[in-house]
Amino acid sequence: MTCFSGQIKEPRLPMPFTSTVRTLLFLLLSLNPLMGQDHWETAVFEDAAWSYFIGLSEPDANWMAPDYNDSSWLQALGGIGYGDGDDATEIPHTPSLYIRTRFMVPQPEVLEACLLHMDYDDGIIVYLNGSEIFRTSNLGQPGSFRAHDDGATDGHEANIYRGFPPEMYLLDQATFQSLILPGENTLAVQIQNVSANSSDLTGRFWLSFGIADASIHFQPVPEWFFHPTIFTSSHLPIMLIDTEGQTIPDEPKIHSLMRLIDNGPDELNHVSDPATGYDGHVGIEVRGATSQMFPKKQYAMETRDAEGENLNVELLGFPEENDWIVHAPYSDKTLIRNALVYTLYRKMGNYASRTRFFELMLNDEYRGVYLLLEKIKKDNARIDIATLNQDEIAGDDLTGGYIIKIDKSAGADNVDWYSAADQEGYGGVWYQYHYPGPRDIVPEQMAYIQNFMNEFEARFADDSYTNPVNGYYNHIDWEQFIDYAIIQEFAKNVDGFRLSSFIYKDKDSNDPRLHVGPPWDFNLAFGNADYYDGANPIGWYFDTNFQGDHWAIPFWWYLIWEDDTFRQAFNARWQALRQTILSESALEVTIDSLIADIGPAVERNFERWDILDQYVWPNPYIGGSYENEVEYLKDWIDARLVWMDANTTDVSVWTPDEIAPLSVYPNPFNPNQTIQIQLDPGTQASIHIHDITGRLVRRLEGYAGGAGLLHLNWDGRDDQSHLMDSGVYVLSVRSEFRQRAIKVTLLR
What would the 3-class secondary structure string for 24-46 be?
HHHHHHHCHHHHCCCEEEEEECC
Residue 178 and residue 52 share a domain: yes
Q: Please give the DSSP secondary-structure letter assigned to residue 103.
A: E
Strand 662-665 relative to strand 673-678, pairing: antiparallel
In a domain, 244, yes or no: yes
Which pLDDT score is estimated for 227?
57
Residues 6+ apart with CB under 8 A from 457: 419, 421, 422, 555, 556
In whole angstroms, what is the distance from residue 329 CA to residue 340 CA? 12
In whole angstroms, what is the distance from residue 456 CA to residue 459 CA? 6
Under 8 Å between Cβ of 3 and 607: yes
Residue 366 and residue 410 share a domain: no
Task: List the strands of the sheet with 416-419, edge to edge.
Answer: 416-419, 429-435, 402-406, 501-505, 514-516
Mean pLDDT by 10 residues, the chain (748 residues): 30 35 50 60 94 97 96 94 89 96 94 92 96 93 95 86 73 90 97 92 94 90 70 92 91 96 93 94 92 92 96 97 98 98 97 98 92 97 97 97 90 77 84 94 97 95 84 91 97 96 98 97 97 96 89 94 88 88 95 96 92 95 96 96 84 38 75 81 81 76 79 88 85 62 77
CATH for 108: 2.60.120.260
**Torsions phi, psi of 673, nearest 5?**
-140, 140
In a domain, 329, yes or no: yes
Considering only CA atoms, which of 449, 457, 468 is closest in space to residue 558? 457
Considering only CA atoms, which of 230, 448, 246 is closest in space to residue 359? 230
pLDDT tens digits along 256-286: 999 999 999 989 999 889 999 999 999 999 9
Distance, CA of 655 to chain centre: 39
Residue 192 and residue 254 share a domain: no
DSSP per-residue letters across 341-353: HHHHHHHTTS---
In a domain, 385, yes or no: no
Considering only CA atoms, which of 418, 493, 494 is closest in space to residue 457? 418
- Count of other CB atoms within 10 angstroms of residue 114: 22
Considering only CA atoms, which of 448, 392, 468, 455 is closest in space to residue 422? 455
**Torsions phi, psi of 607, nearest 5?**
-75, -40
In whole angstroms, what is the distance from residue 554 CA to residue 430 CA? 9
In a domain, 603, yes or no: no
Among 566, 593, 628, the domain boundary falls at: 566
- Looking at the DSSP bridge assignments, the partners of residue 727 are 746
Residue 242 and residue 202 share a domain: no
In whole angstroms, what is the distance from residue 713 CA to residue 734 CA? 16
Under 8 Å between Cβ of 241 and 258: yes
Among 339, 374, 409, the domain boundary falls at: 374
In whole angstroms, what is the distance from residue 309 CA to residue 302 CA? 9
Query: Angle at which helices 601-608 and 584-598 pack, to 10 degrees?
Result: 70
Residue 206 and residue 67 share a domain: yes
Residue 296 and residue 193 share a domain: no
Buried b (16+ CB within 10 A) or exposed e, 567-604: bebbbebbbebbeebbbbebbeebbeebbebbeebbeb
Residue 198 and residue 59 share a domain: yes
Considering only CA atoms, which of 675, 665, 692, 682 is closest in space to residue 740? 675
In whole angstroms, what is the distance from residue 474 CA to residue 479 CA? 11
DSSP per-residue letters across 299-320: EEEEEE-TTS-B--B--TTPPS
**Residues spanned by the domain of 214:** 7-220
Q: Compute the Cα dihedral for 524, 526, 528, 534 and give only its sign.
A: positive
Cis omega before residue 14 (within 30°)?
no
Query: Angle at which helices 626-646 and 584-598 pack, to 10 degrees?
Result: 160
Buried b (16+ CB within 10 A) or exposed e, 389-402: eeebeeeebbbbbb
In whole angstroms, what is the distance from residue 634 CA to residue 618 CA? 19
In a domain, 631, yes or no: no
Residue 437 and residue 329 share a domain: no
Residue 253 and residue 210 share a domain: no
Tell me the helices (H) and strands (E) count for the chain, helix number first.
11, 35
Residue 503 and residue 550 share a domain: yes
Residue 462 and residue 429 share a domain: yes
Cis omega before residue 661 (within 30°)?
yes
In a domain, 642, yes or no: no
Q: How far is CA 255 from CA 105, 316, 376, in A?
A: 46, 21, 22
CATH for 730: 2.60.40.2550
In a domain, 577, yes or no: no
Distance, CA of 131 to chain centre: 44
Residue 237 and residue 216 share a domain: no
Domain count, the chain: 4
Return contacts of 90-93, CB within 8 angstroms, 24+ apart: 91/52, 91/54, 91/201, 92/54, 93/196, 93/197, 93/198, 93/201
In a domain, 557, yes or no: yes
Which pLDDT score is estimated for 21?
46
Which pLDDT score is estimated for 493?
97
Which pLDDT score is estimated for 34?
39
- Count of other CB atoms within 10 angstroms of residue 163: 17
For the CA atoms of the chain, what is the radius of gyration? 31
Under 8 Å between Cβ of 401 and 506: yes
Among 566, 592, 607, the domain boundary falls at: 566
